Structure 1
């Protein structure tokens, strides 16, 4: 039930809780658990103000049950700012309560408030639940561009 959930723009005072959930998120994507590195990574995002984090809390327990993280990017072609919805995660015990939708709503409100051109995201090809959520919200799968990646650490 979404009325039991509050979503707010996260502050550095929530770092410890966010790091714990962020570590779960990384494990969901097959990364080894590293709570210290998760904390350090999120601390840098706060310190450098290069991402926007939203935290979802159960209002009854005050437990952090999910988060979303946005990164600003810029398009030279359109000369406008967009946001990459890079991370969205709901803890397993809190799923199927509409929390993902609330986090998407918060990201869209933020995009509108900051006059961003739009929101971009990607998800694993086998994450059908996320794909259904995004498509229900009007996100359109990119069929016009191929996306490439080069590992600079090789």
Structure 2
């Protein structure tokens, strides 16, 4: 049995290790500039500021099988607030077991509780037929265009 819950402070190091794994997978051959300690600081800040970091956990082993971060956003043209699923990661040996779907359903339930009618996400995988993008489409997401990013200085 797998369930989703908010991450707690005792899991920051484990989540940081998973973030390194995630970043190496999304950008193979390009070593991230962020260290495990950088990720720990970021996760600690997010969990203290708004508590919107969630983990998928195995009930039997208490092992973290994946994580997601959700941020509440506002946009004038969308008529108010929406939630953004900014990170979603499932450890490789646990994929294709419904964990990503479970986390997306959990994010949707947060939308319903907060009376928010829009959940967005961006993916760094341009191939629409890739496994992550196929999952998103199966979960009701539609492709609405590219995302742009600017890295500003050394953060």
Same structural fold, with TM-score higher than 0.5 when normalized by the shorter chain: yes
Give the superposition deviation at 1:147: 4.3
Give 1:64-103 correspondences, 5 Å limit.
64-103=64-103
**Residues 52, 70 of structure 1: 8 Å contact kept:** yes
List, as ranges, runs of 4+ consecutive aligned residues in structure 1 with deviation greater than 3 Å: 146-151
**Cα shift readout 1:80-138 (whole Å, capped 9, x = no counterpart):** 11111110000011111110011101110011111123111111113710111111111
TM-score of the pair, normalised by structure 1 = 0.85
TM-score of the pair, normalised by structure 2 = 0.85
**RMSD, aligned α-carbons:** 2.0
SS at match of 1:70: strand
User: Gapped runs of 5+ residues in structure 2?
Assistant: none
Give 1:1-154 correspondences, 5 Å limit.
4-30=1-27, 31-32=31-32, 34-49=35-50, 52-123=52-123, 124-126=125-127, 128-143=130-145, 147-153=147-153
**Residues 54, 106 of structure 1: 8 Å contact kept:** no
Once the two structures are overlaid, the 10-residue window that deviates more, 39-48 or 28-37, is: 28-37
Distance in 1 separating the partners of 2:14 and 2:152: 31
Once the two structures are overlaid, the 10-residue window that deviates more, 127-136 or 63-72, is: 127-136
Equivalenced residues, count: 148
